[in-house]
Amino acid sequence: MSKNASQWNQHPKFPPSHFVDSRIYTDEQLFVEEREKIFNTCWIIACHESEIPNAYDYRTFFHPGGTSLIIVRGEDMKVRSFYNVCPHRGNTLLYDPVGNAKRITCIFHAWSFDSKGNCTDISREEQGFQKRFCKADAGLREVRAEVGFGGFVWVNTDDNACTLSEYLGDSLNMLHDNMSMPLEVFHYHKAVVDTNYKLWHDTNSEFYHDYMHYFNRVTGMLQPGYFDRKYTGYPNGHASVGSMEIKYDAYEGGKQRGVGWPALAPGGWILIDIFPGMTYNLRTSVLRMDTSIPLGPNKLLIEFRGLGLKSDTPEERAERIRDHNTIWGPFGRNLHEDLLGVHGQGRAMHPGSEPTWVLHGREENMTIHDEGGMRHFYAEWSRRMGRKSYDPYGERKTSAVA
């Protein structure tokens, strides 16, 4: 039955954990708060160690908290991170996304810094500052950085946050044996989508939308074991989806795949979502990593990386690249459908300014079409925001079910 305005505003007959208010995807005020309370307090993947293999290699990273960071490997081979900001007058230090710099020299007044963040030169230091200020007073602002859990470079702009290991807890245990050897990024691309970052994470947190993927219906949904996969939630909003065997050969006429992955059953699949917007997705021969960088409530930059083993032979690497690109590359069978699925989602759900409800109400014993993974995410979102995801401004009539 169609709805009039007052019927449309009545919440669904679910517990409040099973739906959210659509404004959490669209409101500028909430987005500003998310940067402060979520992105600037959580551990975030900035890049992978293999992208900066040599001393002085750097990468710039637009942190989802809203600032530009430098990730640089020092002459001691340690990876460090700094704000990409000159301590003189706040100029941006590095503009290129990637490079190698023994010295980082600000283009504005030529102050220089080494890979440990020390200031090594202040032009006309003595003449301008006499003894009042010197190089030792002008280091770069360091950001906490750790390398681990597959060789990713993690950063946290909150000096008081817990350690990375504490943040992740047991959430990545399922991948422990699969990531015991050095990995290497062989594919990188990014997409900018008109959507909210949470809606992208949702596509990685529920597989009910496999109905959208023709290919997944064949390789996954029709295969035995698909509906046995279970969601497991972990503290801090992370969640895993149990492994299953993917029958890619069901689509490809029974052709056997040559390259597998250490400690992964042939055709295996392990997916782990890390709060607030990173996903480890290991299938058959490739690890895919998604990292979400919101640019606004309705604008999202997603970085996609494909990884293989650093020890790959050229033949093994070529097969991994083929396996990756046919499914997950920009012209693959799967990814563009997900991007279409979230494009415009959120805005389109409430014509004009009228908020609506977004349902997370499916219960299937926490198996693959259960929406429990999303409910777990929004419970953490609510905890960190100090707001209810189903009633972010405390004015909706949800008390009857609450």
Indicate which of ligand FES, Fe ion, none lies near residue 92 (CB less than 5 to 8 Å, by partner kind): none
Site string for ligand FES, 32-71 (x = CB under 6 A): ----------------------------------------
Contact partner, 113, from ligand FES, Fe ion, none, Cβ < 5-8 Å per class = none
How far, in Å, are 169, 225, 310, 362 from residue 220 at the CA level?
29, 9, 29, 20
Minimum CB distance to Fe ion, residue 206 (Å): 9
Kindly report the three-state secondary structure assignment for every residue of the chain.
CCCCHHHHHCCCCCCHHHEEEHHHHCCHHHHHHHHHHHHCCCCEEEEEHHHCCCCCEEEEEECCCCCEEEEEECCCCCEEEEECECCCCCCECCCCCEEECCCEECCCCCCEECCCCCEEECCCHHHHHCCCCCHHHCCCCEEEEEEECCCEEEEECCCCCCCHHHHHCCCCHHHCHHHCCCEEEEEEEEEEECCCHHHHHHHCCCCHHHHHCHHHHHHHHCCCCHHHCEEEECHHHCEEEEEEECCHHHCCCCCCCCCCCCCCCCCEEEEEEECCCEEEEEECCEEEEEEEEEEECCEEEEEEEEEEECCCCHHHHHHHHHHHHHHCCCCCCCHHHHHHHHCCCCCCCCCCCCCCEEECCCCCCCECCCCHHHHHHHHHHHHHHCCECCECCCCCCCCCCC
Q: With respect to ligand FES, which residue has the nearer C-beta, 8 or 108?
A: 108
Least distance in angstroms from the C-beta of 55 to ligand FES: 24
Return the residue nearest Fe ion (CB atom).
Answer: 338
Structure token pair of residue 31: 């987005």
Between 109 and 343, name the residue whose CB sits nearer to ligand FES: 109
Answer with the entry of Fe ion, ligand FES, none that 342 interacts with (C-beta below 5 to 8 A by kind).
Answer: none
Q: Which is nearer to ligand FES, 106 or 239 (CB)?
A: 106
Q: Of ligand FES, Fe ion, none, which one does residue 109 interact with (CB within 5 to 8 Å by kind)? A: ligand FES
| 86 near ligand FES, rule: CB under 6 A | yes
Q: Measure CA 75 to chain center.
A: 29
CB of 375 to Fe ion, least distance (A): 19
User: Is position 91 an interface residue for ligand FES (rule: CB under 6 A)?
Assistant: yes
Does 106 engage in binding with ligand FES (CB under 6 A)? Answer: yes
- Taking CB within 5 to 8 Å according to partner kind, which of Fe ion, ligand FES, none is near residue 85? none
Nearest-approach distance from CB 88 to ligand FES, in angstroms: 3
> 108 or 227, CB closer to ligand FES?
108
Q: Between residues 37 and 109, which has the closer beta carbon with respect to ligand FES?
A: 109
Residue 91 or 223: which CB sits closer to ligand FES?
91
**Binding pattern for the stretch 107-126 against ligand FES, x by CB under 6 A and - elsewhere:** -xx-x---------------
- Return residues touching Fe ion (CB under 5 A): 338
Looking at the Cβ atoms of 41 and 115, the one nearer to ligand FES is: 115
Is 140 or 335 the residue whose CB approaches ligand FES more closely? 140
Q: Give the Cα separation of 268 and 103 in Å (integer).
A: 45
Query: What does 338 bind: Fe ion, ligand FES, none (CB cut-off 5 to 8 Å by kind)?
Result: Fe ion
With beta carbons less than 8 A apart as the criterion, state whether 81 and 70 touch.
yes
Is residue 336 a contact residue for ligand FES (CB under 6 A)? Answer: no
The least CB distance from residue 138 to ligand FES, in Å, is 9
Interacting residues toward ligand FES by CB under 6 A: 86, 88-89, 91, 106, 108-109, 111
